[in-house]
Amino acid sequence: MSDLICVGAVSGSYGVRGEVRIKSFCAIPDEIETYSPLTNEDGSQSYSLHLIRAVKGGFTARLGGVETKEQGDAIKGLRLFARRDQLPSLPDDEYYHADLIGVDVYDTGGALIGQVKQVLNHGASDLLDIQGPGLKEAVLLPFTLAAVPTVDLDQRRIVIDPPDGVF
């Protein structure tokens, strides 16, 4: 498991004074500011973050080192990371998406199905994108207790009981 968790992304500049538009991936979106300073993916750059106001799809913010619209445009798409020890502890039945990626997926009979390539959320609930050599295409499985009864991150193993017809 990585020591860095993606908590947001820069979706572009906002105005002409160096403000940027931030999309928060936090359960409580404005808590992204409490994890400041944030870093880029490899931890080589650090950015202080100060939220200014809520806008459609996120927030406008001041990001350390960004003073102009051009600098804001240049970092569009930058993913922002917080250290795992800055984030709250999760209950036993909740997981950070980053921890699920790459975990092996087995069926209830113990057969390897594939691995989690990404976790998607399009509003209703999380979906596991499962890919593997025996699968013709990626399978999206709802991340519910009924479909995913066991998640063992210590063993890097997920057991699924998918609805009929999914595989």
46 Cα distance to chain centroid: 19
User: CA-CA distance, 143 to 151, in Å (whole number)?
Assistant: 10
Label residue 96 by pLDDT band (50, 70, 90): confident
Residues 65 and 19 both lie in one domain:
yes
What mean pLDDT do residues 79-88 have? 91
HSE at residue 91, side-chain half, CA atoms within 13 A, is 2
Q: What is the mean pLDDT of the chain?
A: 90
Per residue in 42-82, pLDDT (tens digit) is 989 999 999 999 999 899 999 999 999 999 999 999 999 99
Write down which residue in 53, 85, 117 finishes a domain: 85
CB 114 within 8 A of CB 105: yes
Q: In what order do the strands lie in the sheet with 79-83?
A: 46-47, 38-39, 79-83, 4-14, 19-24, 58-63, 49-55
Structural domain tally of the chain?
A: 2
What residue numbers bound the domain in which 40 lies? 4-85
User: CA-CA distance, 105 to 118, in Å (whole number)?
Assistant: 13
Residue 34 has pLDDT above 90, yes or no: yes
User: CA-CA distance, 3 to 50, in Å (whole number)?
Assistant: 23
Residues 111 and 71 both lie in one domain:
no
CATH number at residue 25: 2.40.30.60
Give the number of other Cβ atoms within 10 Å of residue 147's Cβ: 15
> Which pLDDT score, from 0 to 100, does residue 19 have?
95
Tokens matching residue 144 = 């519910």
> Which pLDDT score, from 0 to 100, does residue 55 have?
93
